[in-house]
C-alpha cells in the first residue's frame, strides 16, 4: 500500500547545505520498494575506506549533512540512504505512519543499498556507522553473516526501550500482540511516548533546529508515529537480539556508543549486549542524549575522538580498553 513515491533529490535548508559532490541514486529492493540513497567520494587526497551511514527511525539524509562532512574531512567516502517509509524513499502506509511487516523489510533495504551502491561504488575497506534502529538492523546483518564491514560503530542501538519512553518490554510485546489480534496492526501507537521523547530534544538547540527546519521545509520527508505492526516487529527484533546465539555469531569488531542521559533506548540492555560480544566494547558518553550526533560540540568531540581511534582507515587498530559493566538483561 505505497502512499508516496521516492524522489531523487536532496533538499538544502538555511545553515544546512548539501555537501558538494553528492550523487543520488534510487535503489529498488527485492520486494519492489524504491529507496533514496546518496554517496560522496572521498575528498583528495583521500584515504582508504568508506563509511555506510545508517539512520534511525524517522530520519532522512538531510539530517546528516554535517556528519557526512565530518566523515569526508577524515578522508572517507560516504554512503547513506533513507529507510522505506521515511525521508525520500517510498512510503508504505497511506497515513504516512512508520510501518513494516517485520524487520526483515529493513534487512532487505540494507541488503539492496549494500549490494547495489556501497560495495560496487565505494572503495574498501568498508565501515558502518549506525544509529538507534539502524544499529539494530546492522547487528542483524552482522549476526546473519552477510555484511562485509571491517568494523562497526553503533550509536545508541535499539536493543531495549527506556522506561521513560515506554512501558516494560513485556508490556510492549503484549500491547502489540493484542493490537494485531484485534486487526489494528496498521493503526498508530499511542502518541504519548513519542510526544514525551520530542520534549527531551528541544527544537531551539542548534542541531535540533537544523533537523526541524528540514522537516518544515519539506514536510514529506517526515514520518508519523509507528504502527502497532512496527512496534510488534521492533519488539520481536529486540527479543531475538537478546539471545546469546545472536551475539555469538557477530565477529565484526564493534564499538557500542551509550549516551548516559538516553531516555529512548535502555542503556543496561546495550551494556549487557556488549559484554557478550566476542569482539566488541561499550563507550559511555557522559551527558549525552539519544541523538549523539545532534549534541553540543564537547560531546560530539568526545565521540569523534573515540571514532578516530577505532576506525583507522584500514590499519590494524585494537579495540579501546572500555570494559562493560556486569548488568542484568532487562530485555525480557
Residues with pLDDT less than 70, the chain: 1-3, 46, 165-167, 181, 190-205, 313-332
Q: What is the CATH number of the domain that holds 126?
A: 3.40.50.1820
Quick check: is 323 in a domain? no
The pLDDT value recorded for residue 1 is 45
Quick check: is 2 in a domain? no
Query: Can you say how many angstroms the Cα of residue 150 is from the centroid of all Cα atoms in its chain?
Result: 18
The answer to whether the beta carbons of residues 266 and 161 sit under 8 Å apart is yes
The pLDDT value recorded for residue 213 is 83
Angle, helices 228-241 vs 169-181, to 10°: value is: 140
The answer to whether the beta carbons of residues 58 and 87 sit under 8 Å apart is no
In sequence order, what DSSP letters do the residues of 204-263 get, joined into one string? TSHHHHHHHHHHHH-GGG---PBBHHHHHHHHHHHHHHTSHHHHHT--S-EEEEEETT-S
Q: Provide long-range contacts, Cβ within 8 A and 24+ apart, for 298-305.
A: 303/155, 303/257, 304/70
Q: Which domain holds residue 262?
A: 23-310
Quick check: is 164 in a domain? yes
Quick check: is 291 in a domain? yes
The pLDDT value recorded for residue 323 is 33
Quick check: is 12 in a domain? no
| Mean pLDDT computed over every residue of the chain | 85
* Closest alpha carbon to 266 in 167, 174, 176, 177: 167
Question: Domains in the chain: how many in total?
Answer: 1
The pLDDT value recorded for residue 314 is 39
Phi, psi (rounded to 5 degrees) for 22: -65, 135
The pLDDT value recorded for residue 222 is 84
Quick check: is 320 in a domain? no
Quick check: is 324 in a domain? no
Quick check: is 99 in a domain? yes
Count other C-beta atoms under 10 Å from residue 295's C-beta: 22
Amino acid at each position: 500500500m505505497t502512499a508516496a513515491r521516492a524522489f531523487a533529490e536532496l533538499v538544502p535548508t538555511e545553515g544546512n547545505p548539501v555537501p558538494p559532490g553528492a550523487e543520488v541514486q534510487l535503489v529498488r529492493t527485492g520486494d519492489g520498494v524504491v529507496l533514496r540513497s546518496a554517496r560522496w567520494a572521498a575528498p583528495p587526497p583521500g584515504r582508504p575506506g568508506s563509511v555506510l551511514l545508517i539512520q534511525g527511525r524517522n530520519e532522512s539524509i538531510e539530517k546528516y549533512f554535517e556528519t557526512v562532512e565530518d566523515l569526508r574531512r577524515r578522508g572517507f567516502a560516504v554512503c547513506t540512504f533513507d529507510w522505506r517509509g521515511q525521508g525520500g524513499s517510498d512510503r508504505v502506509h497511506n497515513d504516512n505512519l512508520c510501518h513494516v511487516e517485520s524487520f526483515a523489510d529493513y534487512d532487505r533495504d540494507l541488503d539492496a543499498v549494500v549490494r547495489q551502491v556501497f560495495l560496487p561504488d565505494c572503495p574498501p575497506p568498508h565501515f558502518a556507522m549506525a544509529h538507534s534502529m539502524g544499529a539494530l538492523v546492522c547487528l542483524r546483518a552482522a549476526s546473519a553473516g552477510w555484511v562485509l564491514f571491517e568494523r562497526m560503530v553503533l550509536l545508541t542501538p535499539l536493543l531495549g526501550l527506556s522506561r521513560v519512553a515506554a512501558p516494560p518490554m513485556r508490556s510492549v510485546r503484549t500491547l502489540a500482540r493484542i493490537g494485531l489480534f484485534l486487526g489494528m496492526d496498521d493503526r498508530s501507537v499511542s502518541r504519548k511516548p513519542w510526544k514525551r521523547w520530542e520534549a527531551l530534544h528541544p527544537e531551539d538547540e542548534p542541531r535540533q533546529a537544523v533537523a526541524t527546519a528540514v522537516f518544515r521545509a519539506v514536510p514529506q520527508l517526515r514520518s508519523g508515529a509507528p504502527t502497532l505492526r512496527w512496534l510488534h516487529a521492533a519488539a520481536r527484533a529486540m527479543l531475538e537480539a537478546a539471545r546469546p546465539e545472536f551475539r555469538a555469531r557477530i565477529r565484526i569488531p564493534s564499538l557500542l556508543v551509550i549516551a548516559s542521559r538516553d531516555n529512548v533506548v535502555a542503556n543496561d540492555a546495550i551494556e549487557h549486549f556488549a559484554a557478550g560480544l566476542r569482539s566488541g566494547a561499550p563507550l559511555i558518553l557522559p551527558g549525552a542524549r539519544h541523538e549523539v550526533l545532534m549534541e553540543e560540540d564537547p560531546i560530539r568531540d568526545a565521540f569523534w575522538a573515540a571514532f578516530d581511534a577505532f576506525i583507522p582507515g584500514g590499519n590494524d587498530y585494537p579495540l579501546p580498553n572500555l570494559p562493560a559493566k556486569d548488568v542484568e538483561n532487562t530485555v525480557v
